Amino acid sequence: MERRSFLKAAAFTAAAWTFSRHEALAQQADSHIEILMDEPVGTIAPEIYGHFTEHLGSVIYDGIYVGENSKIANQEGLRSALIEKMRAIKAPVVRWPGGCFADSYDWRDGIGPRDKRPRRTNFWTDNFTAAQQKQNIPQVYEPNQFGTSDFVRFCKLSGAEPYIAANVRSLTPLDFDHWVEYCNSPRGTTTLAEMREADGSADPFNVHYWGVGNESWGCGGNFDPEDYAIEYKRYTTWVPSYGVNLHFVASGPNSDEQAWTRGFFNKLCHGQPSHDMHGVWGLSIHHYAWNLSRGKTQDWDAGKGDALNFEPIDWYELCKETDRIGGIILDHWTALGEFDLDRKVKLVVDEYGPWYRPGTENAPEQLLGQMITVRDAVMTGMTLDTFNRNADKVGMAACAQLVNCLNSLFLTHEDKFATTPVFNVFEMYAAHQGGKALRTEFSAPEVSYDRDGQPANFWGLNGSASLKGNTLTLTAVNPDVGRPREVEIVIRGASAVSAHAWVVAESDIHAHNTLDQPDRVKTHGADVSVRPDSIGFTFPPASVAKIEIQLS
């Protein structure tokens, strides 16, 4: 990250500023942020900054896993450049093996000597062309070279916790018990513990987070919520824990489908509020954002917007789709509150991000691969700020997906590697992990735009703030593609002595990194002025920014 000298950022003493000078600067501001030190929202779970990896396209093969004999720098077959960057963003948790793939996956296929592992038809095979289906490539026919022990090794090397999604659609509860046993039974105890040792780890993996199926309303079994509640109990009741506090994540709704949440908990809790949530630690929510709304076509792929070729109207419409996550969180939290008397269950937004039509992927086999622009950085900042503002409700999240797929932080192909502007956002926002979220009020002129002949608008500035020790971290996005926001920031209940700022912003809103030009989009240092009673900062158009403020 580029750290320029911060001319105005050095500590300013109150004496250096006259009252009239301060007033003049405050008057220039068109927007205001008020951070309320006495109104904590909750602690921001580091796990909110998690990631998602599925055996889909080139997430695993050509993405994370390159093989031990590869010329590409690797640690036990895992791409070294990726591991290094995972550490840089303090990746707290990684979800695997899907996604839809999870409910078609037999974990036994991915253990034992690599040359003995079976090759299977990947869940996503039908999404490839007929010509691709004739090729024996790992994206189409799963070679199982990357299995449970490889995934856990990737997590450990990255400094992250593993979060494993079980197969509810096509395996049994006993298979699930055995997967937990393979991962968590003490060294030398069970046959599966010995098999784990043969796979490189005598010590148990101690996996805490277990997803009970994935999208059980769809690819995870087409269940209705009541039937899924029965399955949930079969899979999670009396699973041996081996002293590990198992955190079960129930398969939740698609976006705002509150009927799923109510139906599931109503069945689970026998139709009444309860103190017994049957071990549900989290309820999974998925929310993808796309530009389907302008009625051009109902075709699933063609109806989506393009990752690179877009107009400001597409940008704002995507902002609206992305921003729905705030209401979705509140709605499910309300539905959950009708049953969960002790508020034990957290929301787990374990798939989110913009989803565009195919065509910008780096290689034909990179299914759901898309280029990532500054627009995606803004959408991701907006989403992470929403999680921070709801720190009392959201216990974990996972950006979909980590590499070469949808809202990726990384692009790879063969020996080429690049980070995306979404990575820059995760790098900046890592400072929030474990911080105390503070209520923060934003007021700014709305963005107005023409929506196919109709006036439309969107909010002009939003973000979040958190406190760790004496360091206050403020992050925010300016979604306006044409106008900067001149902001006066007031901290109620504390005084700032200094501040530093970083920004992701480009004059071209389509700016993105490619494998051949991996450093096009950078995080820049920015000027911030600390005044006796407030802080002044300019959020450039179409930007994500972080201001770190030292308090006295």
| Residues engaged in binding ligand AHR (CB under 6 A) | 54, 98-100, 214-215, 351, 400-401, 406
Min dist CB 305 to ligand AHR, Å, is: 17
Of residues 186 and 359, the one with the C-beta less far from ligand AHR: 359
SS3 427: helix
DSSP state of 15: G
Of residues 144 and 214, the one with the C-beta less far from ligand AHR: 214
Question: Partners of 121 in the beta sheet?
Answer: 141
Min dist CB 84 to ligand AHR, Å, is: 25
Of residues 215 and 340, the one with the C-beta less far from ligand AHR: 215
Min dist CB 533 to ligand AHR, Å, is: 47
Classify residue 120 as exposed, middle or buried by CB count within 10 Å of its CB (0-12, 13-18, 19+).
Answer: middle
Of residues 51 and 85, the one with the C-beta less far from ligand AHR: 51
3-state percent breakdown (helix, strand, coil) of the chain, nearest 5: 30, 25, 45
Min dist CB 109 to ligand AHR, Å, is: 18
Min dist CB 98 to ligand AHR, Å, is: 5
Q: How far apart are CA 346 and CA 395, in angstroms?
A: 5
Min dist CB 110 to ligand AHR, Å, is: 17
Q: Are strands 209-212 and 247-250 parallel, antiparallel or unpaired?
A: parallel
Of residues 216 and 478, the one with the C-beta less far from ligand AHR: 216
User: What is each CA distance from 322 to 3, 48, 386, 544, in whole angstroms?
Assistant: 30, 17, 10, 15
* Amino acid, res. 101: F
Helices (H), 269-348: 312-337
Min dist CB 251 to ligand AHR, Å, is: 10
Of residues 353 and 463, the one with the C-beta less far from ligand AHR: 353
In the numeric block, which tokens belong to residue 346?
């957290």
What lies within 8 Å, CB to CB, of 508 at 6+ separation is 374
Quickly count: other Cβ atoms within 10 Å of residue 14's Cβ.
11
Of residues 384 and 400, the one with the C-beta less far from ligand AHR: 400
Of residues 67 and 218, the one with the C-beta less far from ligand AHR: 218
Classify residue 18 as exposed, middle or buried by CB count within 10 Å of its CB (0-12, 13-18, 19+).
Answer: exposed
CB 247 within 8 A of CB 210: yes
What lies within 8 Å, CB to CB, of 462 at 6+ separation is 382, 385, 442, 476, 477
Residue whose Cβ sits closest to ligand AHR: 99
Element (H, E) at 456: strand 454-458
Question: Partners of 456 in the beta sheet?
Answer: 449
In the numeric block, which tokens belong to residue 12?
């300013």
SS3 122: coil
Of residues 412 and 462, the one with the C-beta less far from ligand AHR: 412
User: What is each CA distance from 351 to 53, 186, 543, in whole angstroms?
Assistant: 10, 32, 23
Min dist CB 314 to ligand AHR, Å, is: 21
Of residues 405 and 504, the one with the C-beta less far from ligand AHR: 405
Size of the chain in residues: 552
In the numeric block, which tokens belong to residue 207?
């996996």
Task: Give 269's Cβ-side CA count (13 Å radius).
Answer: 23
Instruction: Please name which of 443, 490, 447 lies closest in space to residue 462, comparing C-alpha atoms.
Output: 443
Min dist CB 215 to ligand AHR, Å, is: 5
Of residues 400 and 476, the one with the C-beta less far from ligand AHR: 400
DSSP state of 234: H
Min dist CB 375 to ligand AHR, Å, is: 19
Of residues 214 and 420, the one with the C-beta less far from ligand AHR: 214
Q: What are phi and psi of 288, to 5 degrees?
A: -100, 150
Min dist CB 220 to ligand AHR, Å, is: 8
CB 255 within 8 A of CB 324: yes
CB 234 within 8 A of CB 241: no
Min dist CB 138 to ligand AHR, Å, is: 17
Of residues 54 and 161, the one with the C-beta less far from ligand AHR: 54
Min dist CB 420 to ligand AHR, Å, is: 16
Min dist CB 363 to ligand AHR, Å, is: 18
Classify residue 299 as exposed, middle or buried by CB count within 10 Å of its CB (0-12, 13-18, 19+).
Answer: exposed
Q: How far apart are CA 289 and CA 319, in angstroms?
A: 8
Of residues 396 and 481, the one with the C-beta less far from ligand AHR: 396
Helices (H), 44-127: 80-88
